[in-house]
């Protein structure tokens, strides 16, 4: 059975069926893509990046650099130990602090502090940083990442929640300023 314009009824119906499937496919694809991209396009929920306490100021003596840990603000029960993050706190003079990310600015390995030579050294590719976080030697292109911080009620707080990487260096490169409590 061929109609006058040369298109058979069956071919027409098949095309209609394919067209309908295409529409359904698009309807399904949108939520699927949205689901896949959820880590990227999620709204920055309250508490996603928030002020976290590193503990009382007495843990960070003036002139010294100490390791501190905090719990990531957004956690799931199955995250286990991975939600505890370390960082280096430098108390410059009790007024000014610096909070460095643990991740080397080269490729994210954990840097270690050597108080005797006042250097941070990275075990992966040999990056080294001075005590103020600036690059000393090795492959890193920049200094250590710094978190914004503030002092409130005798506690040191930092703004954290995202792993710093060369493409996304925490909140700001310069770090925050002390706000007196």
Partner 1 sequence: MRLIQKVGEWFDLRLQLGAPIRATAEHPVPRETASWFYVFGSAALTCFMLQIVTGILLALIYVPSAGEAWNSLQTLNHGISLGWFIRALHGWGSNFMVAIVLIHMVQVFLFGAYKFPRELTWIVGVFLLLVTLGMAFTGQVLRFDQDAYWGLGIGASIASRVPVIGPWAVNLMLGGPIIAGATLSRFFALHVFVVPGLLIAFVGVHLLMVLKLGINEWPMPGRVVRRATYLQEYHELTHKQGIPFVPEAVWKDILFSAFILVAIAVCAIHFGPFGPSGQPDPTIIQTAPRPDFFFLWLYALLSFLPPSAETPILLIGPAIGIIVLLALPFVAGEGEKSWKRRPIAVLTILLVAVALGTLTHLAEHTPWSPVMDAWSGQPIPAEFLQGRTALERHGALVFQAKQCHNCHSLDEKGGQRGPALDTVALRLTEDQLIRQVIQGGGNMPAYGKNLSPAETTALVAFLETLHPVNQKPARNASQAVALSESESEVSPR
Would you tell me which residues interact with partner 1 (CB under 8 A)? 37, 39-40, 48-49, 67, 69, 72, 74-86, 102-103, 106-112, 114, 116-119, 121-126, 128, 130, 136-141, 161-163, 165-168
92/107 with CB nearer partner 1 = 107
CB of 167 to partner 1, least distance (A): 3
Pick between residue 79 and residue 152 the one whose CB is nearest to partner 1: 79
The distance of closest approach from Cβ of residue 118 to partner 1 in the complex, given in angstroms and rounded to an integer, is 5
Q: How far is the CB of 146 from partner 1 (least distance, A)?
A: 17
Nearer to partner 1, 53 or 178 (CB): 53
DSSP string, the chain: -B-TTS-BHHHHHHHHHHHHHHHHHHHHHHHHHHHHTHHHH----TTSSEEEEEEEGGGS-TT-EEEEEEE-SS--GGGGGGGEEEEEEEESSSS-EEEEESB-TTT-PBPEEETTTTEEE-TTT--EEETTS-EEESS-SS---EE-EEEETTEEEEEE-S--BTTB-SS-SS-------
Is the Cβ–Cβ distance between 143 and 61 less than 8 Å? Answer: no
Q: Which is nearer to partner 1, 59 or 165 (CB)?
A: 165
User: Considering the complex, what minimum distance in angstroms separates the CB of residue 93 from partner 1?
Assistant: 15
Q: How far is the CB of 152 from partner 1 (least distance, A)?
A: 23
Nearer Cβ to partner 1, position 124 or 178? Answer: 124
């Amino acid at each position: 059975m061929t109609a006058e314009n040369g298109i058979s009824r069956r071919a027409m119906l098949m095309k209609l069926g394919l067209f309908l499937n295409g529409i359904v496919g698009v309807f399904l694809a949108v939520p699927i893509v949205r689901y896949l991209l959820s880590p990227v396009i999620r709204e920055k929920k309250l508490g996603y990046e928030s002020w976290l306490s590193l503990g009382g100021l007495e843990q960070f003596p003036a002139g010294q650099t100490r390791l501190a840990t905090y719990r990531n603000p957004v956690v799931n029960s199955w995250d286990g130990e991975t939600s505890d993050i370390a960082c280096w706190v430098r108390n410059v003079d009790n007024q000014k602090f610096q909070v460095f990310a643990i991740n080397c600015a080269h490729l994210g390995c954990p840097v270690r502090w050597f108080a005797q030579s006042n250097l941070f050294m990275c075990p992966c590719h040999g990056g080294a940083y001075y005590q103020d976080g600036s690059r000393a030697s090795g492959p890193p292109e920049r200094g250590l990442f710094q978190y914004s911080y503030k002092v409130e009620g005798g506690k040191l707080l930092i703004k954290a929640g995202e792993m710093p990487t060369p493409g996304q260096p925490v909140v700001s490169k310069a770090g925050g300023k002390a706000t007196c409590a």
